[in-house]
Chain A
Amino acid sequence: MADLALRRTARMRPTGLAASVVLHLVVILGAIAMFFPFLWTIVTSLTPGAGLTLTPALIPSDPSLEAYWRLFAERPFGRIILNSLGLAVATTLAQLFTSATAAYAFSRLPFRGRGVVFAVYLATMMIPLQVLIVPLFVELKALGLVNTYLGALLPTLASAFGIFLLRQAVHQVPRELDEAATLDGAGHFRIFWQIILPNIRPALATLTVFAFMGSWNSFLWPLVILRAPELQTLPVALAGLQGQYTTQWDIVMAGSVVSVLPMLALYVFAQKYVIQGVANSGIK
């Protein structure tokens, strides 16, 4: 998948046929173990009344989509999915914009104190969101943004991880390209738009996956800032589906399946870029 270019890569090849067979066996058994919980999730979501009494059979005797229907009929699940989707798309677009512009400045626009600014940016990556949760909540409350989409969105507009990832990519774009464009009379904005962005597509794709994933799966901040039920996001709503004693597992699992699908689609679409993006980012 990500054998970079045509370069031969170092492999720790097992020697002998027996070793090779064992290797295949272990890796495939491992993959089954990894996939099993997902399979189980799907099966359970198709088994009405699952988990109330017994462990459901691996092949449901009476498969039905009832749980999916009830998920949307009895709860504002359509609205909840739209909440999550809207926030994830907005976050992703915002992070692509803020990361790409910052990455360009950090790579191509020298200014006094740039190294310090970059260090501070990176340090923000090391501050756990949880440490900020109280003051952030207070700040947004003062701005009157509790229970608003804008309040949920604002703290996710820029990400040090994204800036770091894209800066490494911009660094790798040959400067000759900029110089040629400069000779043709292009300014920084045109170089950024016409030279840099097209050349860092793998990194942009990687950031798209990570930014969307971060927003789609984020839990603590939406839990805190979006208190109204109709504003809930998927992970928060899923956590709420789970009652202390009366969990309806078929519905919970149907919700889980629904929440994984968009992420899975995005990953399959961008898969080949992800390992490549990580490999090129210099964090190896």
Chain B
Amino acid sequence: MTATLLPAEARAPEPPRASAGRRPGRRRVRYALTVLAFMLPSAIPLTAFVLVPMVSAAWVSLQEWNLLAPPTFVGFDNYAKLLNDPNTGAIFLHTLTYIVGYLPLVYIGGLALALALNTRLRGRSVLRGIYFLPVITSWIVVALVWRWLLNPSTGVVNTVLGWFGVAGPGWWTDPAWAMPSIIIASAWKDLGFVMVILLAGLQSIDPELLDAARVDGAGWWRRLFSVVLPLLSPSTFFVIVISLINGFQVFDQVYAMTGGGPGGATQVVVQQIYDLTFRYGAAGEASALSWLLFAVVLAVTVVQIVGQKRWVTYG
């Protein structure tokens, strides 16, 4: 990921070595101090609050601990417990269901929007603003609003469906419809973000290429699939990587819309980590599950980085 998202890294500027001659001494020390002055403000917090907790999570995952009494070392018991628990498979499955439903919706929707709003449309600046509005809104607000829109008995959606003689489903109160409810709300919220990323990508495509394709008689769809999408593949890649990382971490909307219910139908991995820690006082097991999740996210990201060579073209 680092190498591909950052083509600039490859051409890091050459050092203007202060110590070319054999006069190391003070200039060198001064340069080192300058580097430290610029690096430490970020290095200290990132080390203290990301890297240190990361390592200590590994240690906690080997303990049985309720956050109150002193921890007891249990080796890999927490991992064994998780891997033998059928519930673990279920929560990962719920998380995957979320991703599989969410990603196509948000990508195709975002792409259509980006294409539409990249044309000479009157008032497109206002339109872009409106589509971006859900992005800047707190997940909690979005979840509350959607929970209410999708209320089975009094919600707007079922009321409107009723006008057409359709009996709306139970949405978040129905185990079968709870996850689709979360997916709809999530796609609605993130559409504007995907749109912005893809718009930025579209604006860097050389118009000459599209003109050339048009002259060659390529129709709209042909141009979309043969010119635009291949050139947009770095943006698409970015959207997919970010969406998958975020998808595995889905939590806020689940917590606020269903709390993992009804009947555990929307219990996702992070909701489980939260419940294990703060509801059941099983910090060790929660940390083990955290590491399991991190391993999965890392594996998925690495697979994408390796796989991207097949389909991502960097202009």
Contacts and interface: CB of A to CB of B under 8 A. Distances in A.
Interface in B113-141: 113, 115-122, 124-125, 127-134, 136-141
Contacts of B223: 12
B290 A12 contact: no
A188 B53 CA distance: 33
A236 B143 CA distance: 12
A127 interface: yes
Nearest to A235: B140
B45 to A, nearest CB: 4
A122 B252 CA distance: 24
Contacts, number: 323
A69 interface: no
Given A102-B42, A135-B54, A128 B294 contact: yes
A111 B19 CA distance: 12
Interface stretch (B81-89, B148-156, B164-172): B148-156
Contacts of A107: 13
Nearest to B49: A155
B60 A134 contact: yes
A35 B46 contact: no
Nearest to A220: B251
B49 A136 contact: yes
Interface in A232-280: 234-236, 238-239, 242, 249, 252-253, 256, 259-260, 263-264, 266-268, 271, 274-275, 278-279
B38 A40 contact: no
A256 B39 CA distance: 39
Given A27-B127, A41-B145, A10 B201 contact: no
Nearest to B50: A124
B270 A12 contact: no
Given A37-B149, A267-B136, A134 B206 contact: no
Given A110-B15, A130-B270, A132-B57, A263 B136 contact: yes
Contact of A217 (B43, B138, B278): B138
Which of A102, A105, A135 counts the most chain B CB atoms within 10 A?
A135
Interface stretch (A60-68, A70-78, A93-101): A93-101
B133 A134 contact: no
A126 B299 CA distance: 11
Contacts of A118: 2, 9
Contacts of A229: none
User: Which bucket holds chain A's interface residue count?
Assistant: 35 or more
Q: DSSP class of A's interface residues: helix, strand, loop or mixed?
A: helix
A101 B41 contact: yes
B138 A235 contact: yes
A283 interface: yes
Interface in A200-242: 209, 213, 216-217, 219-220, 224, 234-236, 238-239, 242
Interface in B28-86: 31-32, 34-35, 37-39, 41-43, 45-46, 48-54, 56-57, 60, 67
B139 A235 contact: yes
A171 B11 CA distance: 11
Interface stretch (B100-108, B174-182, B192-200): B192-200
A106 B6 CA distance: 13
Interface in B199-229: 199-207, 209-210, 220, 223-224, 228
Interface in B273-315: 273-274, 277-278, 283, 286-287, 290-291, 293-294, 297-298, 301
B291 A11 contact: no
Given A4-B203, A10-B205, A26-B116, A131 B38 contact: no
B42 A34 contact: no
B42 A121 contact: yes
Nearest to B252: A219
A188 B290 CA distance: 42
A26 B297 CA distance: 36
A150 to B, nearest CB: 12
Contacts of B9: 115, 118
A220 B273 CA distance: 12
Contact of A9 (B118, B188, B278): B118
A158 B46 CA distance: 6
Given A31-B130, A278-B196, A128 B13 contact: no
Contact of A242 (B142, B144, B298): B144
In the A-B complex, list the 6 residue pairs whose CB atoms are closest, starting with the nearest.
A110-B15, A279-B200, A135-B53, A105-B38, A157-B45, A102-B42
Interface of A: 1-4, 8-15, 23-24, 26-28, 30-31, 34-35, 37-38, 40-41, 44, 51, 53-55, 97-99, 101-102, 104-105, 107-111, 114-115, 117-124, 126-139, 154-155, 157-158, 160, 163-164, 168, 171, 175, 187-189, 192, 209, 213, 216-217, 219-220, 224, 234-236, 238-239, 242, 249, 252-253, 256, 259-260, 263-264, 266-268, 271, 274-275, 278-279, 282-284
8 contacts: A27-B117, A31-B127, A41-B145, A55-B154, A121-B42, A126-B297, A188-B34, A239-B256
